[in-house]
Amino acid sequence: MLEKSELFQKKLFINNQFVPTASQKTFTVINPATGEVLTEVENANVTDTEHAILAAHQALANWKGTPAKQRSQYLREWFNLIKNYQTELAQLLTLEQGKPLQEAVEEISYGASFVEWFSEQAKRIEGSLLSSPQKDKELLVFQEPVGVCAAITPWNFPMAMITRKAAPALAAGCTIVIKPAEQTPLSALALAKLAQMAGIPAGVINILPADQTQSIAVGKILCESPLIKKLSFTGSTQVGRELLKQCAPTIKRCSMELGGHAPFIVFADADLDAAVSAAVTSKYRNAGQTCICSNRFYIHQSIADEFAQRLAEKASQLKVGNGLDPNNDLGPLIDQAALNKVKHHVQDAINQGAQLLTGGQIDNAGALFFQPTVVHQVKDSMLICQEETFGPVAAILSFNNEAEVITKANHPEYGLAAYFFSQNIAQIFRVAKALEYGMIGVNTGLISNEIAPFGGLKQSGFGREGSRWGIEEYLETKYLCLGGMQNYS
């Protein structure tokens, strides 16, 4: 049915047209829930990338010269269309990514919220008139678009991670070339179709789907091209590091939203019901395939067993299966490599003495479905506490006192998100300040929205997305010193 939809696009989107690739090759998009082939999509290569960059470059002068109010209106129209097509977009997203339909619907709203927010922020880009230290000078500061931008986006939020980058770029007056993840090109192309319908001018948004045979080459051109002035990437720390190296010769501006390893701390006085329910949301959203999902649950020793039992009970009630069935809470993992990693982490924990409370197996729902899992009595030395699991596994550890848990919670490498539950206001401030993370949820497991600055510390990256800070990533500050001025005083 979706195949008949105008949103079901399979070609590259360059200069406002859906075009075939110069490579004459396609790649397969698979439904991870069933293993079925959804479709073939054109596979962008280096030549296509150069065309897209040129289109974005040629569109830049006109777009950056378009009054902010008009750019805002284009974005508003794009937002309206995304909302109008929310159901179709969500179905497409579930088909190619696997998450339950309700979560997909929420992702479309979340993604659209960035377009709405930045359509409003476009009108609020402001310069300054500084107080001059000399009588004959006036000092002005302009905020100008960075130029042509590139975005490399992940498969776990195939829609929202695109709008979180493209909307501020467009609002600021930048044009953009986007390479979506190879697993999820259809959501990206559907967004392109809606941008076209919104009348966003040719070349302002360009989309280059590419599979693993082409992705590295396409990404390299995006990083190395002198026409591209900024790269925004969401993905693993390892890939972020490589992209940064490739961006170094052109001294490209970068924003990096990289891996995380979120601690979830529950202090002895916490509201246990609220903590358990937030743990479920934070851990099992998108089957644990979220950069900010909780990985290490540090529970005060006086309540650790009770918390573990209650979480295991709730986790075992979650329904695993095809996301298109509204009764299901947990979809598949994205691919075999993801599943193998999750299995390996669970096995390593069990081998080293952790206790499996629930799950731990591939689910009967299909080859890529892993049961919601809780492992208790985990130790910080286990693999699951060192590496990002990116799957539906909650690892429970216990602690004695605040100082100890802060030391343990502060990961040497990652600093994206952290969560804690406490009823003590002094403790809330103390712990929030001591945790070395870019985003902290207190008495909640859900922190993402368009108004708040999303981003990490340490090797979880730099730069912020969403919020009023998000647009600054796409703006240059230019200072003007106006001499020879005459003042009365």
| Catalytic positions, written as ranges | 257, 291
Nearer to ligand SIN, 52 or 152 (CB): 152
Tell me: does residue 371 bind ligand SIN (CB under 6 A): no
Please say which residue, 16 or 234, places its beta carbon nearer to ligand SIN.
Answer: 234
Q: Which is nearer to ligand SIN, 201 or 453 (CB)?
A: 453
Please name which of 418, 406, 409, 411 lies closest in space to residue 447, comparing C-alpha atoms: 418
Q: Let me know: does 79 contact 233? Beta carbons within 8 Å.
A: no
Judged by CB under 6 A, the stretch of 55-63, 93-101, 287-295, 476-484 that binds ligand SIN is 287-295
Q: Closest separation between CB of residue 279 and ligand SIN, Å? A: 16
Length of the chain equals 489
Instruction: Rule CB under 6 A: say whether 448 interacts with ligand SIN.
Output: yes
Residue with smaller CB distance to ligand SIN, 257 or 473: 257
Which amino acid belongs to residue 9?
Q
Q: How far apart, in whole angstroms, are the C-alpha atoms of residue 207 and residue 12? A: 6
Binding of residue 239 to ligand SIN (CB under 6 A): no
Which positions from 201 to 230 touch ligand SIN by CB under 6 A, shown as an x/- string? ------------------------------
Q: Is 153 in the site for ligand SIN (CB under 6 A)?
A: no
**In the complex, what is the shortest distance from the CB of residue 142 to ligand SIN, in angstroms, rounded to a whole number?**
31
Give me the amino acid identity at 61: A
292 in contact with ligand SIN (CB under 6 A): yes
DSSP states along 384-438 = HHHS---SSEEEEEEESSHHHHHHHHS-SSEESEEEEE-S-HHHHHHHHHHS--S
Cβ pair 459, 414 in contact under 8 A: yes
Rounded Cα distance, 179 and 182, in Å = 9
Spatial distance between the Cα atoms of 415 and 399, rounded to a whole number of angstroms: 20
Nearest of 282, 367, 360, 368 to residue 333 by alpha carbon: 368
**Least Å from the CB of residue 17 to ligand SIN:** 31
Strand partners, 442: 420
Q: Is position 234 an interface residue for ligand SIN (rule: CB under 6 A)?
A: yes
Which one, 145 or 445, has the nearer CB to ligand SIN?
445
DSSP code per residue over 332-356? --SSHHHHHHHHHHHHHHHHTT-EE
Part of the chain binding ligand SIN (CB under 6 A), chosen from 2-10, 81-89, 166-174, 288-296: 288-296
Out of 156, 187, 322, 371, the only residue in the binding site for ligand SIN (CB under 6 A) is 156
Residues in the site for ligand SIN, rule: CB under 6 A? 156-157, 234, 257, 290-292, 448, 454
